[in-house]
Amino acid sequence: MTKEEKLKQVCSQFTFKGIFDEAEPYGDGHINDTFKVTYVDDDKKPTQYILQRVNHLVFKNTVGLMENIEHVTSYLSSRITKEQQAEGYEILTLIKTKGDKSYFQDDEGNFWRAYVFVKHATGHTFAEDANMLYEAGKAFGQFQHLLSEYPAESLIETIEGFHNTIWRFKNLKHAVHEDPLLRADQCREEIQFALSREEIASTLVRGLESGAIPLRVTHNDTKINNVLLDDTTGKGRCVIDLDTVMPGSALYDYGDAIRSCGSTIAEDGENLEDLKVNFEKYEAYTKGFLEAMGRNLTPQEMKWLPLAAIIMTLECGVRFLTDYLEGDNYFKIHKENHNLIRARNQFKFVDEMEKQLDVMTEIINKYWR
Ligand code: ADP
Ligand code: GN1
Ligand code: MG
């Protein structure tokens, strides 16, 4: 069976309307396999859908994960305000299978799911325009605000210890020790950079443990291409990639977003001398996020926002470096040493933010509400 025939067969399991026309790979996520599927009606009018093969090596309890998404999306749909809808903001919507389930498991054990395609909107991997980041911050802030009363204990942890930075460092040390591909010698400086910051990196995890910051329902993967922005108005249209929605910290979401959009170059850019904090983008995202979510945050959360940006960037660098040492099993790579390039980039960003912590704090203070 060709890939196209396989996709067509999978599509036939879902309640898509019309006749299958085509399926093509879509987006540049690092985890799942995503396809844009087109169906046509009798007049050849096309309707698009998103079809995804969930990465079940990453998400081991795929059934529990799909239950999380079902519950969270239906809750969000009941909470979204008329004003938000009027502004074009929408909730990601699952499309059921013909057997009325939210996923289809094929005979090779792969899990497939489908979503309504959000039209005329884009998830930007690198946003040039600061206003886009204001809109992205507002959308992620609104998302978290809408979930602020959701019972966190009813959600499963789709990846155990996902943002447990203490555990992430343990994994790095294990990978350095095992060094299965003899890659450690090539990145001694990066390993040292990370390990010298191990103590500070545990601040958020310890803060949750001690109750200094509250546990909330959070997105946990607030990379900037996980919010679709309207192609015409630039406004936030839909928060996507809900696989990691689970109990977490608001600081994870803020910090991870700054990690992904607050630098002058892309996540895998190699010209590190050009990598600086882009304060215009930093401020735009912060303003949007705090306008939507600031009222919910405690003083301790507000205080730790800039530190969270540093910690989440460090954590991601540690994850890229660990994956590089282990043989690139987790993140999709598109060139040689891709994960090492990404790790170096994240660590340079950490270094820059450490030098700019005072300026970042001043910006937070401007929007403290
Ligand atoms: P991954 O976990 O691999 O990042 P995502 O769920 O983020 O997977 O999807 C990958 C990409 O597919 C996104 O960055 C976005 O460009 C696109 N995408 C996902 N869902 C939709 C949707 N409902 N409508 C339009 N585009 C989507
Ligand atoms: C992955 O799935 P995607 O591409 O949106 C990863 C994030 C990382 C990010 C780095 C489930 O995000 O945690 O921060 O790559 N998602 C998962 O680009 O591990
Ligand atoms: Mg994604």
pLDDT digits (tens, 9 = 90+) for 102-137: 999 999 999 999 999 999 999 999 998 999 999 999
Cβ 69 vs Cβ 103: under 8 Å: no
**Nearest one of 49, 47, 21, 45 to 36, comparing CA atoms:** 49
How much is the mean pLDDT over the chain? Answer: 97
The pair of three-digit structure tokens given for residue 319, joined into one six-digit string: 């994850």
The pair of three-digit structure tokens given for residue 14, joined into one six-digit string: 């879902």
Residue nearest to atom 11 of ligand 1 (CA): 27
In ligand 2, the atom with minimum distance to the C-alpha of 59 is 11
SS3 284: helix
Query: How far away, in angstroms, is 340 Cα from ligand 3 center?
Result: 20
Query: How far away, in angstroms, is 261 Cα from ligand 1 center?
Result: 17
pLDDT digits (tens, 9 = 90+) for 181-232: 999 999 999 999 999 999 999 999 999 999 999 999 999 999 999 999 999 9
> Is the pLDDT assigned to residue 301 strictly greater than 80?
yes
Mean pLDDT along residues 234-257: 98
Mean pLDDT along residues 13-37: 96
Mean pLDDT along residues 251-276: 98
**Sorting pLDDT into bands at 50, 70 and 90, what band is 15?**
very high
Query: How far away, in angstroms, is 110 Cα from ligand 3 center?
Result: 19
**Tell me, what's the pLDDT at 161?**
97
What's the whole-model pTM score?
Answer: 0.97
Q: Which of 28, 53, 102, 240 to mutate to test the pocket of ligand 1 (most atoms within 8 A of CB)?
A: 240
**Tell me, what's the pLDDT at 108?**
94
**Sorting pLDDT into bands at 50, 70 and 90, what band is 291?**
very high
Mean pLDDT along residues 56-66: 96
Characterise 307 by phi-psi region: left (phi > 0), alpha (psi -120 to 50), beta (else): alpha
In ligand 2, the atom with minimum distance to the C-alpha of 225 is 5
Q: Report percent pLDDT > 70 for the chain.
A: 100
d(CA 289, CA 251): 11
ipTM of this complex: 0.98
**Extents of the domains making up the chain:** 3-117, 130-367
Cβ 327 vs Cβ 184: under 8 Å: no
Give the burial class of 282: count Cβ atoms within 10 A of its Cβ; 0-12 exposed, 13-18 middle, 19 or more buried: buried
Residue nearest to atom 9 of ligand 1 (CA): 29
Tokens 């949007």 belong to residue: 288
In ligand 2, the atom with minimum distance to the C-alpha of 244 is 11
Q: Is the CB of 279 under 6 A from ligand 1?
A: no
Cβ 287 vs Cβ 367: under 8 Å: yes
**Tell me, what's the pLDDT at 28?**
87
Q: Which of 26, 31, 223 to mutate to test the pocket of ligand 1 (most atoms within 8 A of CB)?
A: 26
Q: Is the CB of 115 under 6 A from ligand 1?
A: yes
Q: How many CB atoms lie within 10 A of CB 368?
A: 12
Cβ 50 vs Cβ 26: under 8 Å: yes
> Is the pLDDT assigned to residue 42 strictly greater than 80?
yes
**Nearest one of 175, 223, 227 to 340, comparing CA atoms:** 175
Contacts of 111 (CB under 8 A, 6+ apart): 53, 54, 56, 62, 66, 103, 104, 105
> Is the pLDDT assigned to residue 70 strictly greater than 90?
yes
What's the fold here for domain 130-367? Aminoglycoside 3'-phosphotransferase; Chain: A, domain 2 (3.90.1200)
**Tell me, what's the pLDDT at 368?**
85
Mean pLDDT along residues 268-297: 97
Mean pLDDT along residues 235-252: 98
**Tell me, what's the pLDDT at 1?**
86
For ligand 3, a single-atom ion, the residues with CB < 5 A are 29, 226, 241
Query: How far away, in angstroms, is 110 Cα from ligand 2 center?
Result: 20
**Ligand nearest, relative to CA of residue 92:** 1
In ligand 2, the atom with minimum distance to the C-alpha of 159 is 11
Tokens 């978290």 belong to residue: 144
For the domain bounded by 3-117, which CATH number is listed?
A: 3.30.200.20
Q: In what order do the strands lie in the sheet with 121-122?
A: 90-91, 236-239, 227-230, 121-122
In ligand 2, the atom with minimum distance to the C-alpha of 259 is 14
d(CA 78, CA 325): 45
Q: Is the CB of 114 under 6 A from ligand 1?
A: no
pLDDT digits (tens, 9 = 90+) for 138-186: 999 999 999 999 999 999 999 999 999 999 999 999 999 999 999 999 9
